[in-house]
Chain A
Amino acid sequence: MATDSQRGDGTFQEAVQEATLRERLGYRSEQDNLIGYLFVLPNLVVFSLFLLGPVLYALYISFQNWNILVGAGTFVGLQNYVQVLTPLPWANNWKPLRVPTANTFWWSLKTTAIYAIGTVPLQIYGGLAVALMLDKRVRMKKAYRAAYFMPVMLSGAASAVIWRWVLSADGILNALLPTFLEHNWAGTPTYALGGVMLMAIWGGIGSNMIFFLAGLQNIPEELYEAARIDGASAWHRFRHVTWPSLGNTNFFVIVMAIISAFQVFGIALVFSKGGPYYATTTIVLLIYERAFQEGEMGAAAAMAFVLFLIIFVFSYYQYRHRDQQEVDY
């Protein structure tokens, strides 16, 4: 980009000065207001029609006894929420978390939590590790990156079908294992959730790798050079240059991973339809069944809002505790 002074263009200089002045005075023309809103209008319309409106509508539905066959029902206050949340596990000696049929909401919350705890760190730090390795002078960098990114391109449904094949009784995993270790991995309550988690980690590393690679490329090389000259070891360069510089990427990646972990749905449905014996029934899968198979929109909306609150709390916590250290180059 040519700098302003190089152009020696009087009118251009003036324009720049005027723009700076305008900015400093906080001056806005009516025309700018109008044009600005015209530019965002399509998004505003779609947002209010398909996002904000529906959120309010869902809140309204969650206080109603709303069945899909009957349509709009009666106002029932907090009944849906009470129904979804009772029995409280601690009032019932934690029984709902051990017996899947006692209360599927708490059961599925536990299932989703196990899934999130097991997948999120591995997705993120696996992605970071791969990004660090592939940021170096590795031959065929591009081919490696493409390989790691391939699972990301696969739809959850397709990867669920593939992994179901790999983990099925006559699947490849069993062909590779010695006979005494053979299992119907996907069809056993004990292992099915593990299968879903394995699939999620497999599918999640690639996208995080891309985010971290982008973050790594934004770190100026001079910082590393300076660190090298000061005699910093590889670990110190990572700890004091790379890691702080990735603060924002980290925050973004963690929030996205948590949000998507709590919303896991497609892979669980196609892999095992929530089964066997509710082993892979996640919260969103439960909401889907309640809403679109049993038609109980009111109860499903209440569950959706409880889920929203959980995700909101996690995201807000991350936001408050993210690395406050701003790095400027």
Chain B
Amino acid sequence: MARSSYEYPGYDRSGAGYWSKTALLYGAVTAGALWMTLPFWWALSTSISVDPSAATVAFVPNGVTLDHFVTLWERDDVLIGRWFVNTVIFAGAVTAFNLTFDSLAGYALAKIDFWGREKLFLGFVSTMMIPGMVTLIPVYLILTKLGWINTYQGLVAPLIANPFGIFLLRQHFKSLPSALGDAAKIDGCNELQTFYKVYLPLAKPALATLGIFTFMGAWKNFQWPLIIATDQNMYTLPIALFAVRNQYFAKWGLMMAATVVIVAPVIVAFLAAQNYFIRGMSLSGMKG
């Protein structure tokens, strides 16, 4: 979306007014960006500094060491590797199930003309308003009855249903022309093939957006694993961090090393998919 200056009559790129405005703009966004990123820098610099205290790590560590990470790796009561794998399994499975089920449902609600479809859609969307805490207690009791406490299926199953995902994908499928599907059907595709071969590839930006959202949400999820994973073998990283914090409170080097391990993968994933993400958001019918 190029907005070059010559397109607009009366738009002046020179003069004191323009430059002071520009300086103000850059000053404001830079100040904000520093506020956003400095805590990350402090966490990183604390995690690699020899003897972390405020005076030394305010801006740069005094002496670089990987000791805190090594300690994290070697301690018997800190199963950082296991927790990392748990979190990958948890977030990966939740994301895979959500993308599959939400795209099926979103497609049906947008493109298949079946009885009660609008009411069903409204029903799905209105469940977004139910606070997690209302269902938390009964879901916990149900999973206790199923014997799924401290299991992967217990962690994953309740998070498969995601009204936001259905909403996002339904809006996106709706924005694609129906004629495509009709053409596919004339060519002999059944509904599943039409969905899979014609529409799904066109929904890639929306799928990427939902994928990042879901993965990040699960990776960060604190409330649910805290309830369901009481055995330390089943911890995910956020609650493991909570447990470590209780035990090693004020051992800031260790705490920050753990934080860095948690944050790094998500940041890398985001930076890799950033283009898809913002495009997907604007294509996914956020305008309703």
Contact = CB atoms under 8 A, between A and B. Distances in A.
Interface string A291-319: 11000010011001101100110010000
Contact of A158 (B115, B186, B259, B277): B259
Interface string A6-29: 000001100110110011000010
Contacts of A11: 186
A102 interface: no
B222 A165 contact: no
Given A37-B114, A150-B40, A228-B8, A308 B183 contact: no
Interface stretch (A91-99, A103-111, A128-136, A188-196): A128-136
Interface string B102-132: 1011011100111101001000100111111
A1 to B, nearest CB: 7
- Residue of B28, B32, B134 with most partner-chain A CB within 10 A: B134
A307 B42 contact: no
Contacts of B57: 172
A245 B86 CA distance: 43
A130 B35 CA distance: 13
B29 A134 contact: yes
B141 interface: yes
Contact of B112 (A32, A206, A300): A32
B227 A249 contact: no
Q: How large is the interface on B (under 10, 10 to 19, 20 to 34, 35 or more residues)?
A: 35 or more
A183 interface: no
Contact of A265 (B55, B222, B281, B287): B222
Contacts of A76: none
A156 B220 contact: yes
Contact of B130 (A18, A51, A231): A51
Contact of A249 (B102, B166, B286): B286
Contacts of A223: none
A206 B109 CA distance: 30
B171 to A, nearest CB: 11
Interface in A212-258: 213-215, 217-218, 221, 225, 228-229, 231, 248-249, 252
B133 A32 contact: no
B89 interface: no
Contacts of B124: 43, 47
Nearest to B87: A155
A150 B267 contact: yes
A323 to B, nearest CB: 11
Interface stretch (A52-60, A82-90, A113-121): A52-60
Interface residues of A, number: 108
B174 interface: no
Contacts of A28: 113-115
B286 A228 contact: no
A205 to B, nearest CB: 8
Contact of B242 (A15, A43, A157, A228): A157
B10 interface: yes
A1 B183 CA distance: 14
A55 B238 contact: no
A162 interface: yes
Given A136-B25, A266-B222, A300-B137, A153 B270 contact: yes
Contacts of A215: 282, 286-287
B134 A157 contact: no
Given A55-B135, A148-B32, A172-B58, A12 B286 contact: no
A12 B134 contact: no
A249 B281 contact: no
A78 interface: no
Interface in A267-307: 269-270, 284, 287-288, 291-292, 297, 300-301, 304-305, 307
A292 B227 contact: yes
B36 A148 contact: yes
A47 B127 contact: yes
Nearest to A148: B36
18 contacts: A36-B112, A36-B113, A40-B108, A47-B127, A144-B29, A144-B33, A146-B274, A150-B36, A155-B220, A161-B259, A174-B54, A175-B54, A202-B36, A211-B281, A218-B286, A249-B287, A304-B136, A315-B129
Interface of A: 1, 4, 11-12, 15-16, 18-19, 22-23, 28, 32-33, 35-37, 39-40, 42-43, 46-47, 49-55, 57-58, 61, 130, 133-134, 136-138, 142, 144-159, 161-163, 165-166, 168, 170-172, 174-176, 202, 205-206, 210-211, 213-215, 217-218, 221, 225, 228-229, 231, 248-249, 252, 259, 262-263, 265-266, 269-270, 284, 287-288, 291-292, 297, 300-301, 304-305, 307-308, 311-312, 315, 327
Given A172-B42, A225-B8, 13 more contacts: A11-B186, A42-B160, A43-B124, A51-B135, A54-B142, A133-B28, A138-B29, A145-B274, A154-B266, A155-B238, A221-B1, A270-B245, A284-B133
